[in-house]
Structure 1
Amino acid sequence: MSPIPLPSPESPWLVADVGGTNARFGLVTAPGGHPGTVAVLAGAEFDGLADAVHSYLADHAGGVRAAAACLAIAGPVNADRYRLTNTGWSGSVGELGIPHVELLNDFEALALALPHLGAGDLASLGGPLPAPDMVKTVLGPGTGLGVAALVPVREGWVPVPGEGGHVSVPAVTGLEIEVVRALRADGMSFVDAEHLLSGPGLVRLRHGLALVEGTPVAPLAAPEIVARVDDSLCARTVEVFCGLLGSFAANVALTLGARGGVYLGGGIVPRIVRRMRESDFRRRFEANLVLSDYLSEIATTVIVAEQPALTGAAAWLAQRVAGREAGVPSSRPPHPFPEADPSVTPATRSAAP
């Protein structure tokens, strides 16, 4: 793969966040710059990733030719190959016709964005301010349930992707256990966390509650469930969702030692911040008979920034260039993406409003 050239208006970096529903694109046109010319394309309108990339460059970016790209993919990546977990898109980045392409898991890119988010990009769900320079983790329900960590090293930060959304569902209360049993009896042989903590998971969770209550209901899409605050079944669905998410977030924090904070992204939680604050989320997060004190010292914060994964993808390319210039092995370059405001410290930029 060719070295990464510096971006310019004529030969920018292409950054993308490719999810199960939408593909988000942007351009970085100067060293240290942040993504601009952002467009969100519906994945269902394209035959694959190459088709979406070419359409964005032609229709939204004036036909510019990208000198390099970093693509965050909602699914496993392996060298130059990708596979989206919740769509049929798969292949090699060689199909894109861009000289240098880096692939990241989408939550790996979201983790890389964490040091570059300001107070206006975040909303607290409880706990102290996130501790600076300690392990951070990010998780988020959307089309699926993503999980990743960000680990501090001497030179900066290292992202650690994973597939933690597919662990067993953290059913704790009697009602949650009944819902899981009902869904299994209804044909789901195994219920993992993503099956209930995602957009499709909200649909399953409402169905499971209806099965437990013995009240058949017509299916509703996830946005309708969230929007129908006066519907008792929909309201209970969101309440159970928040409690489950609290237990799941605690499991992630304990597994990764995320003393630097647990951040929540994805397409659902930023839309229901007030309901999350009023829910059982934080109590469930701290509800551990052995390590409640440990968990009470960990911040839980919602990412409300627009397109943060694009910032993370740009950060990755900037780190690669910085690592090359510093003579650091290219697998893990040293320096973080330059801050827009150098006066912002790790503590203040992680502070929630």
Structure 2
Amino acid sequence: MLKQNDTLSFPILIGDIGGTNARFCILLDANAEPVHLTSVKTADFENIDDAIQSVILDKTSIQPVSTILAIAGPIETDEIPLTNCHWVVRPKTMLADLGLKDVIVINDFEAQALAIASLGDDNRKTIGPQNPDMMASRVVLGPGTGLGVAGLVYARNMWFPVPGEGGHVDIGPRSPRDYQVFPHLETIEGRIAGEQILCGRGLVNLYRAVCAADGVSPAFSDPADVTATGLSGENPQAKETLSLFSTYLGRLAGDLALIFMARGGVYLAGGISQKIIPALELPEFRAAFEDKAPHRALMRSIPTHVVTHPQAALAGLSTYARTPGDFGLTLDGRRWQT
């Protein structure tokens, strides 16, 4: 068994495997840009091996020696189910059938954390003060299908990604308007967690609660419709929904910044963040983020960014593949080799 920070063998197949989409690319060597960037619908293939064979191996003469996969699901055995699709990742089968000699599987938000270690201004949109980057701990939140959260701790001249289930922490009411809206939110076993509000279905949950508080019937059931009419201002409940969404996202982002002492910044990933940048640029998000007495001065010094890189997870995995020694990524029970 190789040590976790030994150089990986190229070419390397990189994969970001979500519940709906799977994205792949190949790194020929440590200095190369990714090639064969491909995205597929998981529903179109019976399993991940068939997808890799069909869209990668059958389309190129390049034979990957290693693969690094980020998956949306728990990694507990060598049978790794995805949370929101029918695929099961079986590393031993991949070694036997796909000509690979090294398979590494990590959590999808660990890949997002790896990405924010070196994300430049061309791949992020800063919200609030333009504070200089610091080589210090960072946090990434991803409101999308769910709410992913990960930390990135800087120590001993290395970055240590810290995955977790931070999207399921409690969120409670604070303002008078919150106390009008929160009683109408759909709960999970009586509890309102971050993911009940700060994701696609959470956005609709929040919109319906705002409508109930106002005594009007909901006009939309799709997150995209709530977002579009909220940004245009044509629907007052949708507009307030985005305002409250930004506020609650700011509060949670601020809480996580305090937990990790994230002087290196807080990064908003996920599909929703990019779509609502105009709402996040309004005062509510940063105001909620900074409103952490007695640490307002500290919070004002912490930058916040929206990740705009179209393939951030692939970029994070590629950075790790090129320089694994820069990262304290634990591979125990997550690496299989021939």
Distance 2:221 2:76 in 1: 36
Q: What letter matches 2:293 in structure 1?
A: L
Change (3 A) 1:73 1:300: same
Identity between Structure 1 and Structure 2 (%):
33
Show the counterpart of 2:270: 266
Contact 1:27-1:38 within 8 A present in 2 as well: yes
Of 271, 275, 279, the match for 1:275: 279
1:86 and 1:143 in contact (8 A); partners too: no
1:71 to 2:69 alignment: yes
The C-alpha deviation readout for 1:57-87, integer Å capped at 9, x for no partner, is: 246x436432111111123223645343333
Match of 2:115 in 1: 113
RMSD over equivalenced CA pairs, Å: 2.6
Q: Distance in 2 between matches of 1:179 and 1:45?
A: 40
Letter of the 1:17 partner, please give it: D
2:128–2:286 Cα contact (<8 Å) kept: yes
Give 1:148's aligned amino acid: A
**Deviations 1:13-65, CA, capped at 9 Å, x for gaps:** 11111223221111111223332321222223233433433333246x43643
Q: What is the CA-CA distance between 1:197 and the residue it aligns to?
A: 0.4
Give the Cα–Cα distance (whole angstroms) in 2 for the partners of residues 84 and 279 of structure 1: 37
Distance in 1, matches of 2:52 and 2:102, equals 14
In 2, Cα distance between equivalents of 1:125 and 1:241: 15
- The aligned residue for residue 220 of structure 1 is 221
Q: Which amino acid aligns with 1:266?
A: G
Is 1:35 the counterpart of 2:37 in the alignment?
no
Q: Given the superposition, is the C-alpha separation of residues 47 and 300 from structure 1 closer, same or farther in structure 2, using an over 3 Å criterion?
A: same
Pick from 230, 236, 239 the counterpart of residue 235 of structure 1.
239
Unaligned regions of 5+ residues in structure 2, if any? 332-338
Deviation for aligned residue 1:95: 3.2
- Asked if 1:297 is matched to 2:295, the reply is no
TM-score where L is the length of structure 2: 0.86
The answer to whether structure 1 residue 45 and structure 2 residue 44 are counterparts is yes
> Structure 1 residues 212 and 106, CA, compared in 2 at 3 Å: closer, same or farther?
same
CA contact (8 A) 2:14 2:317 kept: yes
Match of 2:271, SS? coil
User: In 2, are the aligned partners of 1:202 and 1:237 still within 8 Å (CA)?
Assistant: yes
Go from structure 1 to structure 2 and tell me whether the alpha carbon gap of 1:49 and 1:166 turns closer, same or farther (over 3 Å shift): farther
Hey, what's the Cα distance between the residues in 1 that align with 2:89 and 2:14?
18
C-alpha distance in 1 between matches for 2:147 and 2:140? 11
Map Cα deviations across residues 170-201 of structure 1 (whole Å, 9 max, x no partner).
Answer: 5332333433321248x863221011101111
> Relative to structure 1, is the Cα distance of residues 54 and 224 closer, same or farther in structure 2, using a 3 angstrom cutoff?
farther
CA distance 1:15–1:176, change in 2 (3 Å): farther
Deviation string 1:267-301 (CA, Å, 9 cap, x unpaired) is 11112212210140000001122211111110011
Give the count of matched residue pairs. 321
1:256 has 2:260 as partner = yes
In structure 2, C-alpha distance between the alignment counterparts of 1:48 and 1:169, rounded to whole Å: 37
Aligned to 1:6: 9
Write the distance in 2 (CA, Å) between the matches of 1:189 and 1:296.
34
Cross-structure match for 1:335: none
Check conservation: 1:77, 1:105, Cα contact below 8 A.
Answer: yes
179 and 36 in structure 1: CA distance in 2 versus 1, 3 angstrom threshold: farther
Displacement of 1:206 in angstroms is 1.2
Residues 244-253 or 270-279, more deviating: 270-279
Q: Which residue of structure 2 aligns with residue 165 of structure 1?
A: 167
TM-score (norm 1): 0.82
The farther-off stretch of 199-208 and 168-177 is 168-177
2 CA distance for matches of 1:190 and 1:55?
Answer: 44
8 A contact 1:170–1:247 mirrored in 2? no
Secondary structure in 1 aligned to 2:13?
A: strand
Aligned equivalents of 2:86, 2:50: Cα separation in 1: 13
